[in-house]
Amino acid sequence: MPEGATRGLIIPIGGAEDRTTGETILKRFVRVSGGRHARIAVISAASEASHTGRDYEQLFRSLRAEKVWVLPFENRKQAEDPEELAVLEKATGVFLTGGNQLRLATAIGGTAVARQLRAMNARGVHVAGTSAGAAFLPEHMIAFGEEGGTPRAGSVQLSPGLGLTNQVLVDQHFRQRDRLGRLMTALAYNPFAVGLGLDEDTSAFIGPDGTFEVVGSGALTVVDPAEVEYSSADAAKAGEPVSIVGLRVHVLLRGARYDLGSRKAMVEEAGLEDE
């Protein structure tokens, strides 16, 4: 991080964010990015649909962002284009759309775009991603995996992500697609990170101090492996259930906060704090 700089927010969104009524998550993203002075860069490389970027462009314009650019980083050659990188550099907020996270990773992972996004976030630019874009934000990404509530050996594949943080591992469409088992399996392989299972229309606004706030209409499931005493992940054969002892799980709703450093959840509405 540059000396004296404050890192920008990292904002994973669980997908299917509200675009019609409250627009709470996207409105807040525009507001923290400067409100009417916000300059938003949209990266739609994860999506195969040609209209995805333009849809978000219209949406952010309707939320009164000053400038919105849809940047054509659809392949690795484009992700090295100095002219497009110069446009990206002007942004106060960057939004990565949904689609396929492997498509996104193979298009921009390790390119000048990825390096620039990390540098921009380190000096204060906010970076948000929805669905596939959310999965791609951390250092480690869930590339794909099986649905279900039970952790099973071989049920999840991890790959490198963008690398904005190594503190979390993100899974999206969480309750809607029954993904608790694959997130627990991923954490059995990588027990350093905290697992964030984001329901649709739900996000975490992760601040530079490592504390995040839950925003949106659904739930955020925190899976904390810090106190795991035992895991059979190393011995289980592919497809077999995995035993994990000592996982802590929190289910947080809008307004709740969580400190990734102390591993404490804070529920302000009820005046409660998890000790």
**Please, what are the domains in the chain?**
10-273 (3.40.50.880)
> Who contacts 121 (Cβ-Cβ below 8 Å, separation ≥6)?
7, 8, 10, 127, 164
Could you tell me the pTM of the whole model? 0.96
pLDDT digits (tens, 9 = 90+) for 125-177: 999 999 999 999 999 999 999 999 999 999 999 999 999 999 999 999 999 99
pLDDT digits (tens, 9 = 90+) for 237-265: 999 999 999 999 999 999 999 999 999 99
Does the pLDDT at position 92 exceed 70? yes
> Who contacts 155 (Cβ-Cβ below 8 Å, separation ≥6)?
145, 146, 148, 181, 182, 185, 239
What's the pLDDT score for residue 222? 98
pLDDT digits (tens, 9 = 90+) for 54-71: 999 999 999 999 999 999
What's the pLDDT score for residue 189? 86
End-to-end CA separation in angstroms for the chain:
31
- pLDDT grade, residue 81 (50/70/90)? very high
Of 175, 219, 214, 171, which is closest to residue 196 (Cα–Cα)? Answer: 171
Does the pLDDT at position 232 exceed 70? yes
What's the pLDDT score for residue 270? 45
The residues assigned a catalytic role are: 131, 173, 200
258 touches 265 (CB < 8 A): yes
27 touches 59 (CB < 8 A): no
